[in-house]
Chains A and B, each alone.
Chain A
């Protein structure tokens, strides 16, 4: 188990947002956190690397309790890609180099620079490397954000709606990158998502949140149209097309 979440609760101004969240994830797996708007998907993701402090519960990454670690030690173990990233006048290389920050003492070393180059090649971002990020498109920017998180050398990637506001081609490219990295690099990924079809296509495990707690969880075989209907309040059917499960509202 790379990730074990036990009984996590989170309050926002004494309002209960998340209660009794427990799940686990194996190495080289992708977990999709699903559920309606405002149910607390992003909150859960931010609790996992302690950007938000849960009221109770434990989060173990590779058997270490995240909530007992310093922020910088968490950053060495988890890479976080927020939904939106502000852009200063930096090159993509600079932006990805920032991912080395949790590991550097005073200044970057040759290894850091080489590692960033390797990350850039891995994600096929050679064309972007020396372009300024305030001139990049949404899809390119998202790739830079993921590259930064990968440059952190994490055990776990946390992605907050990595495909929102991207076109079809970019959605697929981004998720292919995530899947490649997870398969090849000994990391796991947790991502919040809205698009069920994309989730079914790329994730190994699914977590449906409803009313601030886990409504259903499991792999594809355990997800039924009834689950989806009860979570989203929309009747659906799940069809199989060339080994890909597709959700269709009916």
Chain B
């Protein structure tokens, strides 16, 4: 067998070509899902009219307003946030050499939630304005967002600082992250205990991650950060493959492992922090989507990064759509659904999978 020169290379190209096809198929699926998601809600719009409206041909002014002001930003937010969370997860899993690496497990989300609670109680950012399906709004969302962001980045800084003192080993980062996570959870509970009804409601409300929260401007900011980080991660795709082969192999291949690890952590934390700060805590996407992508296209980061992005977008978009229509007229925050679905999916993957 394999007598002819170029035979193995040809079969290898076929193998990588298949991975490209999967990613392409995922993108097509994502596009279709986006149209359907825009079409679905308390008012159903025929999908063809959605396409027409998006292409710039106005079908009716009501639909124009629903699509452009409500549904499209929400769909795009789900896509961008799903992509961002999944890509930070996949990178953290690689640089921390741990399948449990994710913004969630490292305490970054918990710290952001604490930041939000802190802003509500101490900085007085919470208030009531009851309406159906949306019990409490936060009257000064930017204070909450900034506080959540600051605390998320604070945890990252602490993790990196400890890693610097004890040597940048993945174990140290994970352990410090877990410790930080429980510390901030305790902090949040402490604040909640002394909160009044209104404040408590504001805090809890914030904690539910919700894609309907972002305006066009906020979406723009999130997209910019997610896009830049994706470019950075793709640029480093070979280095993540090398680190997967072990630190020593990577160093032997000329990779500055410590530096890749440090900057990978900084970028993935930044992406998580910005998403959590604007949308609240959306669990499990960062952990599960990379693993689902791994099962389909393997661990090669040349394809895995793109695969995780598509998977993250697709999953969060679908979850978001279901959450929107599941209990009409109430719109559930998507985070309730991702955690609901996430946990069993994850256990299924562990039981069924070759390894996580």
- Cα–Cα, bound, A99→B253 (Å): 7
B245 touches A95 (CB 8 A): yes
Closest residue of A by beta carbon distance from B16: A94
Give the interface centre of B15, B97, B299 by most chain A CB atoms within 10 Å.
Answer: B299
A102 touches B253 (CB 8 A): yes
In the complex, A234 has a CB within 8 A of chain B? no
B249 touches A82 (CB 8 A): yes
A90 touches B241 (CB 8 A): yes
- Cα–Cα, bound, A94→B253 (Å): 14
What is the distance, in angstroms, from B168's C-beta to the closest C-beta of chain A? Answer: 15
- Cα–Cα, bound, A134→B244 (Å): 12
- Cα–Cα, bound, A109→B74 (Å): 41
- Cα–Cα, bound, A78→B249 (Å): 12
What is the distance, in angstroms, from A132's C-beta to the closest C-beta of chain B? Answer: 7
Interface residue count for A (Cβ, 8 Å)?
48
Inside 8 A of B254's CB, which chain A residues have their CB? 70-76, 101-102
A75 touches B252 (CB 8 A): yes
Closest residue of B by beta carbon distance from A145: B249
Inside 8 A of A49's CB, which chain B residues have their CB? 252
Inside 8 A of A85's CB, which chain B residues have their CB? 245-246, 249
Closest residue of A by beta carbon distance from B297: A89
Q: Name the segment of B1-9, B61-69, B220-228, B310-318 touching the other chain.
A: B1-9
Give the interface centre of A74, A85, A129, A149 by most chain B CB atoms within 10 Å.
Answer: A129
Inside 8 A of A78's CB, which chain B residues have their CB? 252
What is the distance, in angstroms, from A87's C-beta to the closest C-beta of chain B? Answer: 8
- Cα–Cα, bound, A130→B15 (Å): 8
Inside 8 A of A244's CB, which chain B residues have their CB? none
In the complex, A86 has a CB within 8 A of chain B? yes
- Cα–Cα, bound, A73→B252 (Å): 10
B252 touches A90 (CB 8 A): no
Interface mask (B65-95 → A, CB under 8 Å = 1, otherwise 0): 0000000000000000000000000000000
B12 touches A91 (CB 8 A): yes
Inside 8 A of A84's CB, which chain B residues have their CB? 246
- Tell whether A152 pairs with B246 under 8 Å between CB atoms, given A90-B300, A104-B238: no
In the complex, A113 has a CB within 8 A of chain B? yes
Residue in contact with A130 in the complex, picked from B11, B242, B253, CB distance below 8 Å:
B11
Chain B residues engaging chain A, CB cutoff 8 angstroms: 1-2, 5-9, 11-13, 15, 97, 238, 241-242, 244-246, 248-249, 251-256, 294, 298-300, 354-355
A-B CB proximity, top 4 nearest? A80-B252, A75-B254, A72-B254, A88-B299
Chain A residues engaging chain B, CB cutoff 8 angstroms: 46, 49, 51, 70-76, 78-82, 84-91, 93-95, 98-99, 101-102, 104, 113-114, 116-117, 120-121, 126-127, 129-130, 132, 134, 145, 148-149, 152, 158
Task: List 21 contacting pairs A-B, 8 Å CB cutoff, sorted by A.
Answer: A73-B254, A75-B252, A75-B253, A75-B254, A80-B251, A82-B252, A85-B245, A86-B245, A88-B241, A88-B300, A89-B299, A90-B244, A90-B299, A90-B300, A91-B15, A93-B12, A95-B245, A101-B242, A101-B255, A113-B13, A158-B252
